[in-house]
Amino acid sequence: MTENDNAVPEFARLEVPARAEFVSVLRLVVGAAAANYEWLRTERLDDLKLAISEACIALMAADAVTIQLTTYASQAQLDVELSAGGASAARSLPDNALEGSTKAFEFGTPLVSMLVDQVTVSRESDTVKLTVLRDPEIVH
Amino acid sequence: MDLGLDVTDSNGVSVLTVRGEVDVYTAPRLRERLVELAGEGKYRVIVDLEQVDFLDSTGLGVLVGGLKRLRTHDGDLQLVCTQHRILKVFEITGLTKVFSIFDSVESATSAE
């Protein structure tokens, strides 16, 4: 535990059209958000970026109009929330949003769950939350 | 985002060298190139992933689709990849059992 462990998490937010060409932009933002956290080694960051892509594919399959990415980075963990926006045109994220419900997402299911420490899908807010913990052995 | 696709011939086998990121945006271009190769009667294809920085499930889907297409013509699609972060995607999804993966184009062609 260091003094910085109790610091307020850094916060970043970006909303982009839910189109394939913008997914790489979201990956870049997360890379920047993670830049100051040495515990987030390159391999784990690569895994997180892949999980973000898979989550975006799921949100696009759910007819999201926009995708809003929010990151909360701290010395303890990095949370990435991906929310479907555009309200009226977007239908709810299906129950099996991360269970290979679309052809494009056929291989996504095992990927997301194995790439990050926690995955939370909220149908109410059409949000996928991905969490990478500094120490996955510690239960939060 | 840049995706590089170059095709060369190696002992009668088409070698498709892929560079950059293969994701939901760029994967359709890879699919088109594989379809073109099959349309040209090139049913033996090696996809060299050594210069790929990123590969997601849509990229995997394209490669599986290409493999299926070529096998219907008694052909094959082999992969060249030594990068851990790319190999990991194949391992997690169990696709290492589906594809023949080599550490160089030379070893892939000599396995023909």
Q: Residue A1 pLDDT > 50, yes or no?
A: no
CB contact under 8 A, B89 and A105: no
ipTM, two decimals, is 0.90
CB contact under 8 A, A50 and B89: yes
Cα–Cα distance, A91 to A102 (Å, whole number): 15
To test the contact with chain B by mutation, choose from A41, A43, A50, A113 the residue with the greatest count of B C-beta atoms within 10 A, namely A50
Identify the pLDDT of residue A50: 94
Are B67 and B44 in contact by the 8 Å Cβ rule? The answer is: no
By percentage, how much of chain B surpasses pLDDT 70? Answer: 98
CB contact under 8 A, B56 and A53: yes
Identify the pLDDT of residue B25: 96
Q: Name chain B contacts of A103, Cβ cutoff 8 Å.
A: 61
**Chain A nearest-CA residue for B53:** A46
Q: What is the pTM of this model?
A: 0.86
pLDDT one-digit tens code per residue, A67-108: 999 999 888 999 999 999 865 444 556 655 555 444 444 455
A7 vs A41, more confident: A41
By percentage, how much of chain A surpasses pLDDT 70? Answer: 74
Q: What is the mean pLDDT of chain A?
A: 80
Joined together, the tokens standing for residue A41 give 């080694």
Element (H, E) at B102: strand B101-102
Cα–Cα distance, A133 to A116 (Å, whole number): 8
Option in B1, B24, B93 nearest A57 (CB): B24
